[in-house]
Structure 1
Amino acid sequence: MLDSPPTFIVGCGHSGTWLLLAILGMHSRIYAIPMETEVFFKTKKAEVETLIKQFDQQALSVDKNRWVEKTPSHINRIGNILHFCPDAKIILMVRDGRDVAHSMASRYSPGRFDMNVSMCAKRWVDDNRNGQKYWDHPNVKVVKYEDIIIDFEKTITSVLDFMGEKYESEMKDFHTVERRWCSPKIEKPETCFGKDYPQYRNWQINQPLFDGRGRWKKMSYRDMCIVTDITGGMLFQLGYA
């Protein structure tokens, strides 16, 4: 039987959720579920309970004491998480919305999908507005992607304190363990579009920590103005402006 409650990583996509999952998965007591389960989008209680039991068994099978799951869109299901798992720890990842919009829009090849920066910026605002309702909940901790970059050990120690765990120095070497979470291949593909995207994400997961701050400055002036206009209020509330 597991001795600690589950942890769920949520947040708007492209906010560092994969990164945090890989880091926490290096802890000697924590099992990282290597997929987005979308468990709290299930409509039947029995389905949710069955999956939770499966996650417990997976952790036990590898001699771990607890598990962590990440589905970014669960930021819109925090109430469901707390209903089914009232003792769960929820880590809400946030990142500068301008960087998120730039990263998200860059994922799609021209003509493949009409995902412009305006849509991406609106998604960031909507997701974080839903998460904002729980910022002060005792079972929820807001973690900034940028803080992991600025001071890795301090930030991850704070996350682990919230979870009731101790920091382990090996966690900073998360990139040394090969992970095939999104694809069986770990090499960088030729593109990050279409069928290559899962492999591209998997390649990213296997890279050392890199500084992805301020990439929004590469946007055109027009896109920069659009994104800033849409995200401005939430950027201010999160301390980005």
Structure 2
Amino acid sequence: MNNINPPIFIVGAPRSGTTLLQYMLKSHPEISLPTGESHFFIPIYQRHAEFGDLKVKENLKFLLTEIYNARPDFFDDDFHGIKFDINILSDQLHALKTSTIPDVISTIFQMNATAEHKKYWGEKTPYYILHLPLIKEMFPNARIVHIIRDGRDCAISMLERRWDLRIYNIYHAAYTWNKYVRSGKDFGINNPDCYFEIKYTNLLNSPHKSLKALCKFLNIEYNESIINFERSNESGKTPLLTRPLQANNTQKWRNHMSIKELQIFEAMAGSTLTEYGYELSNPCASISKFNHLVYEAHIKLCDIYFNFFRN
């Protein structure tokens, strides 16, 4: 049953607008998107040898147990079509003769979509952008949607949630943003037919145009419900999900980043910013070897603190 309908993966650097795009697309009458993030696709797939022959029902049950235990809150709170009942699902999947981990995942998500009366299933976990070749191996006809936001604005938002995201300073934020965006770009160069980039600024400033282009890429008819998407009342979600789109939610870095922070960020990620058309405040920005060492040491110390006192 794997990939009867092409799955949709929303990816991007942290705080790039992936959640906003997730809620917009899930409002389309044909697209099912859980409201959380799965996180388990890659680690479970990398453990495939542990699960043995999935045609054996007990092995299938073991796999389903590990999938559920990896993200119980995701399946209990964010999966809105079916209940993740291991016994029922193992019976259904066994009857369908699913024999691979991607088949199992795809079938469960497709069941969830069907229960929501939708045709396509999708998923939003930003860090999957670092594993897109593996995602394509798992789901050969997957459609990858990469949302890109000015990294300096991402950095401000990342550092507001530094302990949640474990991104501790401007150097760390620049490195992370650059790594994520370059990973997506490199994949897209080699896989142009299944990869689509959408800029956060365009999504806010010209949503109809941007989303019509996205729907064309997905080969799905555009529907106004994407613009008039269902808002979230959850306090933990991004504020943009509780109010209309705000075109001015850009270039926050001009008022919220110091000259030193801008210098560090642009020294680390300036070429990628320029490639995507973002104006640099200092095209000649550089970072000394000493500052590299100081920021790296700070990251390690914060990790030690997190592991011993906050975890």
Which bracket does the TM-score occupy, shorter chain normalised? 0.7 to 0.9
Say whether residues 1:200 and 2:236 are aligned partners. yes
Q: CA deviation at 1:206?
A: 2.9
Cα offsets for 1:196-236 (capped at 9, x unmatched): xxx33265433321232101111122112211211101111
Match of 1:68 among 122, 136, 140: 122
Q: Equivalent residues in 2 for 1:1-80 (5 A)?
A: 4-38=5-39, 39-42=41-44, 43-45=46-48, 46-80=100-134
The secondary structure found in structure 2 opposite 1:239 is coil
Q: 2 CA distance for matches of 1:202 and 1:116? A: 21
**Higher gyration radius (CA):** 2
Q: 2 CA distance for matches of 1:157 and 1:70? A: 20
The secondary structure found in structure 1 opposite 2:144 is strand
Match of 1:151 in 2: 206
CA contact (8 A) 2:158 2:167 kept: no
The secondary structure found in structure 1 opposite 2:13 is coil
Q: 1 CA distance for matches of 2:131 and 2:115? A: 28
Q: CA deviation at 1:238?
A: 1.7
Amino acid in structure 2 at the alignment position of 1:220: S
* Greater alpha carbon shift after TM alignment, 112-121 vs 215-224: 112-121
Change over 3 Å in CA distance of 1:41–1:131 after alignment to 2: farther
Match of 1:216 among 248, 253, 273: 253
Say whether residues 1:122 and 2:158 are aligned partners. no
Match of 1:135 in 2: 188
Match of 2:271 in 1: 233
CA contact (8 A) 1:31 1:64 kept: yes
Change over 3 Å in CA distance of 1:63–1:3 after alignment to 2: farther
Normalising by structure 1, what TM-score? 0.84
Cα offsets for 1:172-209 (capped at 9, x unmatched): 111xx353xxxxx63xxxxxxxxxxxx33265433321
Q: CA deviation at 1:40?
A: 2.6
Structure with a larger share of its residues in helix: 2
Q: 1 CA distance for matches of 2:125 and 2:131? A: 10
The secondary structure found in structure 2 opposite 1:201 is coil
Aligned residues: 220
Normalising by structure 2, what TM-score? 0.66
CA contact (8 A) 1:41 1:77 kept: no
The secondary structure found in structure 2 opposite 1:142 is strand
Structure 2: which 5+ residue stretches go unaligned?
49-99, 280-311
The secondary structure found in structure 1 opposite 2:145 is strand
CA contact (8 A) 1:98 1:231 kept: no
Q: 2 CA distance for matches of 1:161 and 1:56? A: 21
Cα offsets for 1:50-75 (capped at 9, x unmatched): 22221111001111000111100000
Q: 1 CA distance for matches of 2:135 and 2:124? A: 12
CA contact (8 A) 2:17 2:147 kept: yes
Structure 1: which 5+ residue stretches go unaligned?
180-184, 187-198
Q: 1 CA distance for matches of 2:105 and 2:242? A: 27
